[in-house]
Amino acid sequence: MRKEGWVNEVNLVAELVDMVQVDELRITVVVDNHYFTVQNDSPIVERVSSARGVPIHTEHGLSYVVETTMDGEKNTFLFDFGLNFETIIKNLAILNVSLATVNAFGLSHGHLDHWGGLLQTLKAYRRASSKETTLYVGEEAFAPRFSGYPWGSPHYLGQLDVKQISSIQNLKIKEIKLPTEVMPGGYFTGYIDRVTEYEKARTTLLIARNERLEMDDFRGEQAMIVGLRNKGLIILSGCAHAGIVNTVRHAQKITGISDVHAVMGGFHLFDSGTENIKRTVQDIKSVKPQYIIPMHCTGYDAMTLFYKEMPEQLVLSTAGSRFTFVA
């Protein structure tokens, strides 16, 4: 049963996205697992330094502020919400980002380290702004999640409460299944096609469906795609449970754009095994992105192999990094 303010996006029929390309994309990493205060900047990234005496806070979570600019008009989107609200709100203040400037919100998938701060962030947004806004989610974003690892018996991972989210005034929830523009120039992927034979769902990650536990295939997971004028796609993932290679190929397919400028986000390779990591790195390398920016749940082994195989393309991201891509 759908709640008031909930829209199920079932009437989208076009598979190929007529993508509007942006003049500039800025991605501010509000929450990530790591913070390295003396990491050098690069042509596309600047970082907040703790030399100011105000440290960035980190946790096992992820959150981005995404800003697109077209014809001088800027729009702002908050993508994922970390593990807890305190981390988000403190880091937003340090990064000089006002919640009142956000035009819409989006959630990649229903794991706690991506929605933990969502409810309180929306409440804080409502205190800062009375304008109507939308929260974009994929299928099963509000389903209970469990893990069988390392506890043996299923361990409850939490559930985002749709009733609490729906109670936020002037907030519309849109559940999407197909590619959807969620902000000017920014698109959610819809269902991500599984085309590689080695990027498999983890049997230890479970979801409650029809009053029983099943393996979670993350059918509702969303990544974000932005087309940078004259340079290609920028693909931003949450955890890439669907596979980061699947995600990139899906983005190319639905946009009709083969050039990839950057791939960034959590790649969920920390438990994938050596051979799968090697295949992933080689497949991403074959796409020839200008930048590869692994984060969050990518894992040390994959990070080091990306550095070994793509040293000129790899850019280190930490909490507090602000990436700017200009056409």
The whole-angstrom separation of Cα 235 and Cα 262 is 6
Q: Each residue of 112-126: pLDDT tens digit?
A: 999 999 999 999 999
Cα angle 200, 138, 248; round to 5: 50
pLDDT at 260 over 70: yes
Termini Cα distance of the chain: 44
For 51-60, 157-166, 202-211, which range has the lowest pLDDT when averaged over its residues? 51-60
**pLDDT value of residue 151:** 65
Residue 199: count of CB within 10 angstroms of its CB:
22
Contact 180, 146 (CB under 8 A): no
Q: What is the CATH number of domain 6-326?
A: 3.60.15.10
Give me the percent of the chain exceeding a pLDDT of 90: 82
The whole-angstrom separation of Cα 295 and Cα 96 is 22
Q: Each residue of 286-301: pLDDT tens digit?
A: 999 999 999 999 999 9
Cα angle 120, 182, 108; round to 5: 55
pLDDT at 27 over 50: yes
Q: Each residue of 171-211: pLDDT tens digit?
A: 999 999 999 999 999 999 999 999 999 999 888 999 999 88
